[in-house]
């Protein structure tokens, strides 16, 4: 009795499998009759394009430096003594020969009186002996001894006068008080600075440049230079190269150049950190693109307008800076691909978005 039941079950399963297979075939047939999809759209890669711009392109070199005054003088006294007073404040503008400080002069005043007395005495003796010598009433030996003594005392007197004058510290140049090194009441001496004065109307930037750029700067006195302060990149200040060192430091492998500032210096002060932008090369009326769209091996993608496909070219002999590169004039009207080229193959359909 079990054999017929088993056969019946097997036959039921077979019919079920066949029925499912027919249903799947029918569904596939119906789906193939649905609305067809445009093969061009299925295989097109969306891309974003950019066109070249025309203008000037410059290549620059950016170096760091510090503002300096071209004329900075540290004021050091010529005589020793107690510093009685300093007559200027930090930041004051001073004129040449303006009093800056005063050293106690009492010791030098006494020396001057002694020297003056000796000088006047020797002068009187010399003048009397000179009259006697001219009247043949004195020997030449006595006359020459008196004259020598007179000359010696005269020199001592002039030296004493000079030392007294040195107790008044005067400004050596027109400028601004940049530093005050000593205080009132402190000891002044020729090896101890009192003030530092700088001419803020004549500012420069000194830079140490790697020796690989020496040939570039050695013959480029007319190179354009811009001074830029950090956080003020939109306010460049004109400058020019005033000197290039004729030697290269053997230890640092650098050479020094000085740039004189020509533009508005009202916002600049010695010691400020600045960037110096040197224009090392320039191209006028060229077509250029942003450097970020240039691929490996200087490859560049563009859209072939007649076939709507992406094509790849190699750019050679291009003038580049840190942001842009030039292209031949014959490519000025090309639509260059700036996004989506990573997934392209040459000749593949593209869709501009």
Q: What is the DSSP letter of 349?
A: B
Every domain range in the chain assigned CATH 2.40.30.170? 61-70+199-280
* Predicted local confidence at residue 199, as pLDDT: 92
* Predicted local confidence at residue 33, as pLDDT: 47
> Is 45-60+284-352 a domain of CATH 1.10.260?
no
The CATH label, of 1.10.287.470, 3.30.110.40, 3.40.50.300, 1.10.600.10, for the domain at 80-197 is 1.10.287.470
304 Cβ contact partners less than 8 Å away, ≥ 6 residues apart: 310, 311
Find out whether 291 and 320 touch, Cβ atoms under 8 Å. Answer: yes
Helices 140-166 and 106-134 meet at what angle, rounded to 10?
160
Q: What is the pLDDT of residues 89-102, one digit of tens each?
A: 999 999 999 999 99
* Predicted local confidence at residue 146, as pLDDT: 93
Q: What is the pLDDT of residues 23-72, one digit of tens each?
A: 665 555 544 444 444 444 446 889 999 999 999 999 999 999 999 999 99
- Mean pLDDT on 265-285: 92
Quote the CATH superfamily of domain 61-70+199-280: Efflux pump adaptor protein, beta barrel domain (2.40.30.170)
Every domain range in the chain assigned CATH 2.40.420? 45-60+284-352
Every domain range in the chain assigned CATH 1.10.287.470? 80-197
Q: What is the pTM of this model?
A: 0.64
Q: What is the pLDDT of residues 284-325, one digit of tens each?
A: 999 999 999 998 888 999 999 899 999 999 998 899 998 999
């Amino acid at each position: 009795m079990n054999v017929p039941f088993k056969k019946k079950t097997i036959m039921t399963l077979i019919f079920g499998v066949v029925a499912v297979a027919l249903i799947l075939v029918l569904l596939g047939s119906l789906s193939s009759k649905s609305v067809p999809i445009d093969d061009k759209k299925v295989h097109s890669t969306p891309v974003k394009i950019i066109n070249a711009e025309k203008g000037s392109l410059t290549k620059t070199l950016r170096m760091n430096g510090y503002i300096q005054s071209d004329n900075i003088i540290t004021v050091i006294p010529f005589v020793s003594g107690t510093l009685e007073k300093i007559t200027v404040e930090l930041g004051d503008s001073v004129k040449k020969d303006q009093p800056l400080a005063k050293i106690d002069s009492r010791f030098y005043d006494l020396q001057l009186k002694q020297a003056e007395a000796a000088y006047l005495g020797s002068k009187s003796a010399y003048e009397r002996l000179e009259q006697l010598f001219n009247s043949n009433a004195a020997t030449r030996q006595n006359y020459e001894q008196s004259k020598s003594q007179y000359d010696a005392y005269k020199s001592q007197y002039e030296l004493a006068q000079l030392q007294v004058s040195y107790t008044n510290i005067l400004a050596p140049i027109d400028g601004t008080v940049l530093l005050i090194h000593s205080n009132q009441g402190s000891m002044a001496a020729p090896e101890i600075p009192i003030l530092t004065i700088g001419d803020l109307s004549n500012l420069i930037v000194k830079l140490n440049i790697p020796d690989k750029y020496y040939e570039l700067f050695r013959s480029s006195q007319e190179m354009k230079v811009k001074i830029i302060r950090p956080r003020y990149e939109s306010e460049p200040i004109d400058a020019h190269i005033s000197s290039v060192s004729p030697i290269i430091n053997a230890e640092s492998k650098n050479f020094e150049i000085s740039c004189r500032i020509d533009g508005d210096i009202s916002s600049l002060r010695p010691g400020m950190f600045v960037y110096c932008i040197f224009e090392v090369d320039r191209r006028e009326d060229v077509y250029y693109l942003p450097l970020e769209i240039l691929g490996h091996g200087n490859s560049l993608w563009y859209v072939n307008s007649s076939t709507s496909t992406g094509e790849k070219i190699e750019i050679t002999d291009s003038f580049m800076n840190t942001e842009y590169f030039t292209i031949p004039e014959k490519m000025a009207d090309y639509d260059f691909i700036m996004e989506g080229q990573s997934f392209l193959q040459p000749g593949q359909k593209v869709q501009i978005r």
